[in-house]
A and B are shown apart, each in its own frame.
Chain A
Amino acid sequence: MKKTFNNRAWLLVAPVMIVVLFSALLPMMTVVNYSVQDAMAENHFFWNGDAWFRDLLDPSTEIGSRFSGALERNLIFSFVVLLIEVPLGIALSLTLPRRGWAVGPCLVLIALPMLIPWNVVGTMWQIFARADIGLFGAALNGLGLNYNDTQDPVSAWFTILLIDVWHWTPLVILLSYAGLRAIPDAFYQAARIDAAGRWSVFLKIELPKLQRVLVLAILLRFMQSFMIYTEPFVVTGGGPGNATTFLSIDLVKIALGQVDLGIAAAMSLVYFLITITLCYIFFTAMNQLDLLKEA
């Protein structure tokens, strides 16, 4: 086959490249630039080498312990979120109707939380969870539980987790539901012929067929939960103490509160690298699952 080389096609890509350059690459390089410099007075920068990075990654320094503490909270948070949302999402998607008039209304109702913007979700829950006037907080206290999301670390964590589960389990449900719908009827019929029980149908047919969508769901949920910002910012302000101070919250405090641009830039780069590395590992591992099993 004869190939035509026509470099004019680059012109079609050029506008996108320019937009990406200005929106992503330049700010990113600015961050890299800040991360290796220190500012003495206004706009007087001097070379600082990798000092910010060494401080950051050494837990014995003040900033290093802040960073490792927040990173730990982030990892625990994402882990618990996945642990709750994925099984819950699959379980709920199995209970949804497969056909009939109820499918549409059910899907819309389930998708509703996802359509609400983050800060609105935060504000809603901030009021909802208040121990004095919030329906949820007051009800829990009425039941005799000692619940206060701004003063008790356990309550604060419980609230943030609950918000995330409420907000994002629907995504897992919808993805998993779509995966289930894609399984041909013949598989269920064959399972009946083969006298497979309900649990067996789930383990041997549904779960393996869901693998692809679940990789997607886990990846999306990991990325979003690892970058959590708005909910703790609005609801708990990162407290009590620093109980819900996640990396993003700390980052904003350092960059915009203390205006320590150098350390904040170093921190955001490390944060960014951790996120994409973990995503890459997740993605590769889950896609290799089959091959590993076969070996």
Chain B
Amino acid sequence: MARIDLVDLAHSYGGNAADPASYALKPVTMTWRQGGAYALLGPSGCGKTTLLNLISGIVTPSHGKILFDGTDITPLSTQKRNIAQVFQFPVIYDTMTVGQNLAFPLKNRGVPKAEIDARVAEIAKLLDLAPYLSRKATRLTADAKQKISLGRGLVRADVAAVLFDEPLTVIDPELKWQLRSKLKALHRELDLTMIYVTHDQTEALTFADTVVVMHDGRVVQSGTPAELFDKPAHTFVGYFIGSPGMNIVPAEVRGREARIGGHAIALDRSYDALPAGARIEIGVRPEFVDVVAPAPGLLSANIERIDDLGRVRFARLRIGDVKFAARVPSGFSIPGDVAGLIFDPSRVHVYADSCLIEGAA
């Protein structure tokens, strides 16, 4: 149990001399508080597994430091760091029983037998593995095996953090839900810091109190699911979170007004000091746009189709060359294929070179 601080941590698989732009993880400074449930969210190749492996010590960073409760543990080996990690595919010790598998990390650390037995019994009960404790682990199904892997990660009570590297990839969708809520319950019960790597936003948003979004080796935003949804700090976050993601439209912004193709859209805040020469875009989520019949003064868009997702419907539109999505009510219909758009000014964000700009009140 510990607070984990990353100080200017960066890694390149090409060694220290590599070009900074090619770093798998660009310099990051951040803090993981004790007992938090974190998700590291990002597409494949964004550096999230690298970050995880740096914390567990499987990979040694090119530069920067990792502190556990203020103590620099960067030079320590994985064995000496107090960390547990669960991998994407189940790792099972074939010759051992389920119980021996769970006990293995404790046994190697010289924990007394009575304590091992108690802890193994507790974890097995939490993961519903109790009936299988004396069975050989090899003959179990993939999801039971992955539960054993999870169990080995959770069995040590004193770890600084438990790291999960996309642990539910091999699990069937239905069991995935069960295991995910199980993990969430375990997090409450065991008071462990958990860091969960995934590229699945649903998984991240349901598991974590704090979601850390990564993009191209950088941490672009870290916040609660609501913050990521309401106020994406980077256009990537807006686009990656939400389904469909945030609409990003190039615009000219002056004061309290954004102009798209000559049409003015009112903004809630004032943007006077935008960086010169930057690429300016506005972002608005499909949920905060009303699609109505075209009228003078409204931004008009061509309707391409309506996607019916069962519970909700989204209109797929086009403003000039830019694709745009907007949520529409179930009885929605408009004559013709042109619609007018009404924006909720408080929900329109302004981005300069993909980064959120805070306007003045």
Please list the residues of chain A having a beta carbon within 8 angstroms of any beta carbon in chain B.
Answer: 184, 186-187, 189-190, 192-197, 200, 203-205, 208-209, 290, 293-294
Known A186-B89, A186-B91: A193·B96 in contact at CB below 8 Å: no
Which of B83, B88, B105: most chain A CB closer than 10 A? B105
Flag if A193 contacts B56 (CB, 8 Å): yes
Known A194-B104, A195-B105, A195-B109: A293·B93 in contact at CB below 8 Å: no
Known A200-B108, A294-B139: A194·B58 in contact at CB below 8 Å: no
Flag if A190 contacts B91 (CB, 8 Å): yes
Closest to A186 in B: B87
B94 within 8 A of A: yes
Known A193-B56, A196-B104, A197-B108: A205·B93 in contact at CB below 8 Å: yes
Instruction: List 17 A–B pairs whose Cβ atoms lie within 8 Å, in order of A's numbering.
Output: A186-B87, A189-B56, A189-B87, A190-B149, A193-B78, A193-B83, A194-B104, A194-B105, A194-B108, A194-B152, A195-B108, A196-B108, A204-B94, A204-B104, A208-B94, A208-B95, A293-B136
Partner of A192, one of B58, B94, B109, B153: B58
- A60–B287 Cα distance when bound, in Å, is 98
- A182–B138 Cα distance when bound, in Å, is 17
Flag if B94 contacts A209 (CB, 8 Å): yes
Q: Which residues of B contact A190 (CB under 8 A)?
A: 85, 87, 91, 149, 152
The minimal Cβ–Cβ distance linking A211 to chain B, given in whole angstroms, is 8
- A195–B95 Cα distance when bound, in Å, is 18
Interface size class of B (residues with CB under 8 A): 20 to 34
B206 within 8 A of A: no
How many A-B contacts if CB must be within 8 Å?
58
Flag if A192 contacts B79 (CB, 8 Å): yes
Q: Which residues of A contact B37 (CB under 8 A)?
A: none
Please list the residues of chain B having a beta carbon within 8 angstroms of any beta carbon in chain A.
Answer: 53, 56-58, 77-79, 83-85, 87-89, 91, 93-96, 104-105, 108-109, 136, 138-139, 149, 152-153
Q: Which residues of B contact A196 (CB under 8 A)?
A: 104, 108
Interface contacts beyond A190-B85, A193-B105, A208-B95: sample of 19 additional A-B pairs, CB < 8 Å, sorted by A: A184-B89, A186-B88, A186-B91, A189-B53, A190-B87, A190-B91, A192-B58, A192-B77, A192-B78, A193-B78, A193-B84, A193-B85, A194-B108, A194-B152, A195-B109, A200-B108, A203-B95, A204-B95, A205-B93
Q: Which residues of B contact A203 (CB under 8 A)?
A: 95
Flag if B95 contacts A189 (CB, 8 Å): no
The minimal Cβ–Cβ distance linking A180 to chain B, given in whole angstroms, is 15
Q: Which residues of A contact B108 (CB under 8 A)?
A: 194-197, 200
- A186–B95 Cα distance when bound, in Å, is 17
Flag if A189 contacts B105 (CB, 8 Å): no
Partner of B138, one of A184, A187, A197, A290: A290
The minimal Cβ–Cβ distance linking B122 to chain A, given in whole angstroms, is 18
The minimal Cβ–Cβ distance linking B264 to chain A, given in whole angstroms, is 56
The minimal Cβ–Cβ distance linking A127 to chain B, given in whole angstroms, is 47
Q: Which residues of B contact A204 (CB under 8 A)?
A: 93-96, 104
- A151–B78 Cα distance when bound, in Å, is 58
Closest to B138 in A: A290
- A190–B88 Cα distance when bound, in Å, is 11
- A193–B58 Cα distance when bound, in Å, is 9
Which of B77, B84, B93: most chain A CB closer than 10 A? B93
